[in-house]
Amino acid sequence: MSKKGQEIFIWLLIVIGLGAIVLGMYAAVAKPAVVIGDLVIPVSSADWRKGNENAKVTLVEYSDFQCPACKYYYGIVKELEKEKGDAVQMVYRHFPLQQHAFAKTAAIATEAAGKQGKFWEMHDILFDRQEEWSVSENIQQSIVEYATLIGLDIPKFISDVQSVDLASRVERAITEGGTQGIQGTPTFFINGTQVRFQSYEELKQLVEDELNK
Amino acid sequence: MDTSKNNTIIVWTILALSVAGFTDAVYLAMKRIIGSPINCFAFSGCDTVAQSTYSAIFGIPLSLLGAIFYAVTIILITYYLQRRTKKGLQRVLAMAILGGVFALYLFALQAFVIKAWCLYCVISDTIGVVTALLAIYLWRKEK
């Protein structure tokens, strides 16, 4: 082969090689996510629930307050709450991921707020201000600030946040999430079946299908 | 081992690193462009880093720029391997330094601003810095 021919051959190899890498990565990313099956632990009074307990549709979410994707889905779920109201019951289950430094602290803060009947208020403010406290220099201070904003009894809140009880409650939730096979957040279940959606419209459709059953 | 053989090994190392960097960047870019649904997965800080406001410049994902960067580096090195001209090496050096400096900036962003690490980004940034150092070393020896 001439020198020129050789050069052309090498360039061809490079184009094919890089193209193969692109296709390979496409195949790796495009494969559907793992299906983890139906809800193992049934919804009970031990869960954080919101809405009508006898609703025809129950939406269970495994979530992490510091996860950006969870914040995105928080907006979608809020919209559902507004539109469907009592027709849907919401359930929140903690699954703070290891890589999120303050996710556990945030989960404990919602538990402490829950002791004063304000779990959902803390849940909302944590998602609303995720960008702020996620990079906080003093997470305890941020959380106490939010507790003040939602009108909690601060001395009680502080002592609850430090209690072993609540920390072990969150740890238990993580173990249970593991049992469920949760690999990422958020993971949703409608009436016990795992569902996926990316927009409010898709979620609404899933809920309506269930309501019409 | 004589110098020119040694230098050839360095050029091939840069090429191999660039191919690895390209693969890594394409993976991240694909994840960003078609990855669905968005999720935070256990044992990875990639969700925080790759979805942060710093992950794109003028709407173009950095991972895509990274893939283009590595592809251009691969082309420049192949050209240099064929011609062995000083100009060819200069181009490789310029590209590698550009990549190295940008990689250092991205390291700093993860450490001090986003305060989270993404393994795939760290791999890409490390390759960028190592490539730049190798190219500088090669340039000094060949000069």
Count of domains forming chain B: 1
Q: Residue B11 in contact with residue B82, Cβ under 8 Å?
A: no
Q: How far is CA A167 from CA A49, A170, A195, in A?
A: 20, 5, 29
The tens-digit pLDDT sequence of chain A (213 residues) is 688 888 899 999 999 999 999 999 888 877 666 667 889 999 999 999 999 889 999 999 999 999 888 998 999 999 999 998 888 999 999 999 988 889 999 999 999 999 999 999 999 999 999 989 988 889 999 999 999 999 999 999 999 999 999 999 999 999 999 999 898 899 999 999 999 888 899 999 999 999 998
Helix, coil or strand: residue B23? helix
Q: Which of A18, A28, A198 sits opposite B71 (nearest CB)?
A: A18
* Inter-chain residue contact B38 with A30, CB threshold 8 Å: no
Q: How many Cβ atoms are within 10 Å of A91's Cβ, its own excluded?
A: 18
Query: Which residues form the domain of B120?
Result: 3-142
Residues 70 through 89 of chain B touching chain A, CB cutoff 8 Å: 71, 74-75, 78, 82
Q: Chain A: which residues have CB within 8 Å of chain B?
A: 7, 10-11, 14, 17-18, 21-22, 25-26, 28-30, 33, 64, 66-70, 72, 97-101, 134-135, 183-186, 196-198
* Inter-chain residue contact B26 with A21, CB threshold 8 Å: yes
**For residue A85, what is the DSSP state?**
G
Smallest Cα distance from B47 to chain A, Å = 7
Whether the full predicted model's pTM is greater than 0.90, yes or no, is no
Q: Is the ipTM of this complex over 0.85?
A: no
Q: Right CATH number for A48-211 from 3.40.50.10710, 3.90.1150.10, 3.30.2130.30, 3.40.30.10?
A: 3.40.30.10
Q: Which residue has the tokens 């702020």?
A: A132
Q: What CATH number has the domain bearing residue B95?
A: 1.20.1440.130
Domain ranges of chain A: 1-31, 48-211
- Residue A157's nearest CA partner among A124, A94, A114, A121 is A114
Q: CA of A186: which chain B residue's CA is closest? A: B39
Residues of A in contact with B35 (CB under 8 A): 29
- The distance from CA A91 to its chain's CA centroid, rounded to whole angstroms, is 12
C-alpha A156/C-alpha B139 separation (Å) is: 66
